[in-house]
């Protein structure tokens, strides 16, 4: 789909050019004009002209001599030499001593050049800019009014637009949106029966899962114009401007109907109005205008609004009621099959070798979003070019997963041997505790090459498959696994390092969730102590209980993590020899695969 845009150069660009011309004129051209009449000659010519008594007027300056011929028809210039009798000889040759042979530019001329000319240039630019602006706005308006224009990006129909086939996975979302496409193709079928299309559809999901792509694909499939604008673009400095932008957007859309209007990051304007004093007036007015516009048009006029957000819980309920954004399409992180399809879609754009096993890559990239997968494929292609190959291999893709998720390998990071050993024990500690609890390979691979993200090691977990429920025991085991790294340090070295900060955070979060949200504590039964406020962006929570309860929760969280930590230490003590063997293997080779790990663990 082609975006229609009028190329615009900033005002500064024109003023920059004017300034440049002026400087060129004053510092380069002007001195040259003055110099043009002066002819430079060597000192010998000057001396012979004295002897031949051809000098008219002469002026001796600090570093040069200016003189004219007898007829005063030409001005000459020559360098100054150490010639003590020069004045005498000049006098004898009948030359007249003068000052200011080259007359300074007349005051009138210099006034014209330094004041009138710049003014004329700036005036000219002003005129030109005004004309251009008028043309852009279709005439009539002044610059001020342009602020209320929507300046949405408009994409026109084109045969190479994005189609549903470009969006891999996300079958449910596509199925949901196919109805819209159908409607745009054949509205009559729907009108006949009296059905009206939803006016607004909200695409919700974590970042990078293809929400924008899906919206474009709907327009591409339906072959209708696509207006795209981000929520934050509506919010202006002046109250009322955003509302005016919304009005303008809908006016344009109605003219082009049937069409799709896409508002990205709608939470920027659609946030709950909380009625606090000193609230954001501009945002609220914009939202009100959006609500009014959505009410103002009939469901059947062919304007369909798609909006994307990753914070659906923060949206104003008025926006979500039937008749506005009444349909919600979840666009979730892709599952194994989805990841494989996304990898394949993007791999079509690059050259890949025969050996590439997309299922394996998809399995390794567990939890990656569509955007990350696209990035992984691109990184693999870049790596292939860097190594001088003409196509990307399996190894390129595997390495790029680690690059995208954990950052580049730090080639010159200096880990002391002791640190490397600690990291080995730490990582094996996690894996060993996990393996002993589940009796299966817990990891695909562990490497202890430092990454640019700051991670000293990298553990690729085994894909857990589509797993929707977790038992209490499973969560407890997970907490024990998180504590396994620190436990290994304690068991082996008797002291602890800062390396476990992330584990501590994750273990605490899980333990907290068990107690406050999953009802897994005997004391609180099925009472929610916390609510999730931010499902798609990290899952932040807010407490919903009294201060006494909070203290109790904290106690229980500590108790829970502590008991799992002790369990992990016990597991490692019971398997001390395996722990040493595995950690040494990792220390020597810097990488251990899941199979090697299980091989060593199960050997007697």
By the 8 A CB rule, do 512 and 530 touch?
yes
Which listed range, 94-102, 202-210, 521-529, 591-599, lies at the site for ligand ADP (CB under 6 A)? 202-210
User: What is the smallest separation between the CB atom of 212 and ligand ADP, expressed in angstroms?
Assistant: 3
Q: Which of 1, 90, 101, 167 binds ligand ADP (CB under 6 A)?
A: 167
Which is it for strands 259-264 and 303-309: parallel, antiparallel or unpaired?
Answer: parallel
Adjacent-strand bridge partners of 591: 447
Residue 220 near ligand ADP by CB under 6 A: no
500 binds ligand ADP (CB under 6 A): no
Cβ atoms of 13 and 231 closer than 8 Å: no
Please choose, from the candidates 529, 499, 333, 307, the residue with its C-alpha nearest in 3D space to the C-alpha of residue 415: 499
Q: Which residues contact 358 (CB under 8 A, 6 or more apart)?
A: 340, 343, 344, 347
The one-character DSSP state at 25 is: I
| Residue 209 in the binding site for ligand ADP (CB under 6 A) | yes
Nearest-angstrom CA–CA distance, 222 and 190: 15
Does the protein bind ligand ADP through residue 210 (CB under 6 A)?
yes
Q: Any contact of residue 90 with ligand ADP (CB under 6 A)?
A: no
Tell me the C-alpha distance between 50 and 81, whole Å.
Answer: 15
Q: Which C-beta is closer to ligand ADP: that of 212 or that of 285?
A: 212
- Contacting ligand ADP within 338-367 (CB under 6 A): 342, 345
According to DSSP, residue 66 is labeled E
Q: Select the residue whose beta carbon is closest to ligand ADP and give its number.
A: 370
By CB under 6 A, which span of 208-216, 221-229, 277-285, 498-506 interacts with ligand ADP? 208-216
How would you classify the pairing of strands 259-264 and 226-230?
Answer: parallel
Least CB distance to ligand ADP at residue 264 (A): 7
Pairwise CA distance, residues 166 & 155, whole Å: 17
Question: How far apart are CB 202 and ligand ADP at their closest, in Å?
Answer: 13
Least Å from the CB of residue 537 to ligand ADP = 12
Distance (Å, whole) CA 322 – CA 471? 37
CB of 231 to ligand ADP, least distance (A): 12
For residue 352, the 8-state DSSP code is: B
User: ∠229-230-233 over CA atoms, to 5°?
Assistant: 95
| Residue 486 CB, nearest approach to ligand ADP (Å) | 36
Among 59, 170, 267, 340, binds ligand ADP (CB under 6 A): 170
Distance CA 260, CA 269 (A): 19
CB nearer to ligand ADP: pick between 265 and 282: 265
Distance CA 153, CA 202 (A): 19
By C-beta, is 248 or 335 nearer to ligand ADP?
335
CA nearest 81: which of 108, 45, 111, 105? 45
505, 592 Cβ separation under 8 angstroms: no
Token pair recorded at residue 310 = 């990753």
Near ligand ADP by CB under 6 A: residue from 60, 133, 336, 371: 371
Selected catalytic residue, list 427, 476, 489, 530: 427
Q: How far is the CB of 564 from ligand ADP (least distance, A)?
A: 36
Query: With left for phi above 0 and alpha for psi between -120 and 50, is residue 180 left, alpha or beta?
Result: alpha
Rounded Cα distance between 424 and 588, Å, is 9
Of 204 and 500, the one with the shorter C-beta distance to ligand ADP is: 204
The residue within the footprint of ligand ADP, chosen from 49, 65, 180, 213 (CB under 6 A), is 213
Sign of CA dihedral 133, 135, 141, 146: negative
Query: Total residues at the site for ligand ADP (CB under 6 A)?
Result: 17
Residue placing its CB nearer to ligand ADP in the complex, 343 or 441: 343
From 36-44, 161-169, 297-305, 561-569, give the range in contact with ligand ADP by CB under 6 A: 161-169
Single out the segment in contact with ligand ADP by CB under 6 A; choices: 52-60, 145-153, 201-209, 241-249: 201-209
Residue 323 C-beta: closest distance to ligand ADP, Å: 25
- Annotated catalytic residue 427: yes
> Three-state SS for 120?
helix
Which one, 425 or 536, has the nearer CB to ligand ADP? Answer: 536
- List binders of ligand ADP among 307-326 (CB under 6 A): 308
Active site residue ranges: 427
| Contact residues for ligand ADP, defined by CB under 6 A | 167-170, 207-213, 308, 342, 345, 370-371, 374
């Amino acid at each position: 789909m082609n975006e229609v845009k009028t190329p615009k150069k900033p005002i500064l660009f024109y003023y920059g050019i004017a300034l440049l011309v002026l400087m060129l004129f004053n510092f380069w051209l002007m001195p040259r004009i003055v110099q043009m009449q002066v002819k430079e000659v060597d000192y010998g010519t000057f001396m012979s002209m004295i002897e031949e008594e051809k000098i008219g007027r002469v002026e001796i300056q600090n570093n040069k001599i200016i003189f004219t011929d007898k007829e005063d028809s030409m001005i000459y210039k020559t360098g100054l030499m150490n010639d003590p009798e020069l004045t005498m000889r000049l006098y004898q040759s009948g030359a007249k001593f003068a000052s200011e042979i080259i007359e300074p530019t007349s005051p009138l001329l210099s006034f014209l050049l330094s004041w009138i000319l710049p003014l004329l240039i700036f005036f000219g630019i002003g005129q030109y800019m005004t004309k251009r602006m008028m043309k852009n706005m279709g005439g009539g308006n002044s610059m001020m009014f342009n602020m209320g224009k929507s300046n949405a990006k408009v994409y026109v129909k084109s045969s190479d637009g994005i189609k549903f086939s470009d969006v891999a996975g996300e079958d449910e979302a596509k199925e949901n949106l196919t109805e819209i496409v159908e409607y745009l193709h054949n509205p009559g079928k729907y009108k006949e029966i009296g059905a009206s299309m939803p006016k607004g559809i909200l695409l919700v999901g974590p970042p990078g899962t293809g929400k924008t792509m899906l919206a474009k694909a709907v327009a591409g499939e339906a072959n209708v114009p696509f207006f795209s604008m981000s929520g934050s673009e509506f919010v202006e400095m002046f109250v009322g401007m955003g509302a005016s932008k919304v009005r303008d957007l809908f006016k344009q859309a109605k003219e082009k109907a049937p069409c799709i209007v896409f508002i990205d990051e709608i939470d920027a304007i659609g946030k709950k109005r909380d009625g606090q004093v000193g609230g954001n007036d501009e945002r609220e007015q914009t939202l009100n205008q959006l609500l009014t516009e959505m009410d103002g048009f009939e469901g059947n006029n062919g304007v369909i609004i798609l909006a994307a957000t990753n914070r659906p819980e923060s949206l104003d309920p008025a926006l979500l009621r039937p008749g506005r954004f009444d349909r919600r399409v979840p666009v979730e992180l892709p599952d194994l099959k989805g990841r494989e399809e996304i990898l394949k879609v993007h791999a079509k754009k690059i050259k890949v070798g025969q050996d590439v096993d997309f299922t394996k890559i998809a399995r390794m990239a567990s939890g990656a979003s569509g955007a990350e997968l696209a990035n992984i494929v691109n990184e693999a292609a870049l790596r292939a070019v860097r190594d001088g190959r003409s196509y990307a291999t399996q190894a390129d893709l595997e390495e790029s997963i680690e690059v995208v998720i954990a950052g580049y390998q730090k080639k010159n990071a200096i880990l002391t041997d002791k640190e490397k050993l600690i990291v080995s024990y730490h990582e094996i500690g996690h894996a060993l505790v996990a393996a002993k609890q589940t009796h299966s390979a817990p990891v695909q691979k562990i490497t202890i090459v430092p990454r640019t993200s700051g991670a000293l090691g990298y553990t690729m977990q085994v894909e857990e498959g589509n797993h929707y429920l977790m038992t209490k025991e499973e969560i407890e085991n997970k907490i024990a696994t998180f504590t396994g790294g620190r436990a290994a340090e304690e068991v082996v070295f008797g002291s602890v390092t800062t390396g476990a900060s992330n584990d501590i955070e994750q273990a605490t979060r899980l333990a907290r969730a068990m107690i406050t949200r999953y009802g897994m504590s005997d004391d609180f039964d099925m009472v929610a102590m916390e609510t999730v406020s931010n499902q798609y962006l990290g899952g932040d929570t807010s407490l919903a209980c009294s201060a006494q309860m909070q203290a109790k929760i904290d106690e229980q969280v500590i108790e829970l993590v502590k008991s799992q930590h002790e369990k992990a230490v016990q597991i490692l003590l019971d398997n001390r020899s395996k722990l040493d063997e595995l950690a040494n293997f990792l220390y020597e080779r810097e990488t251990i695969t899941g199979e090697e790990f299980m091989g060593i663990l199960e050997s007697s």
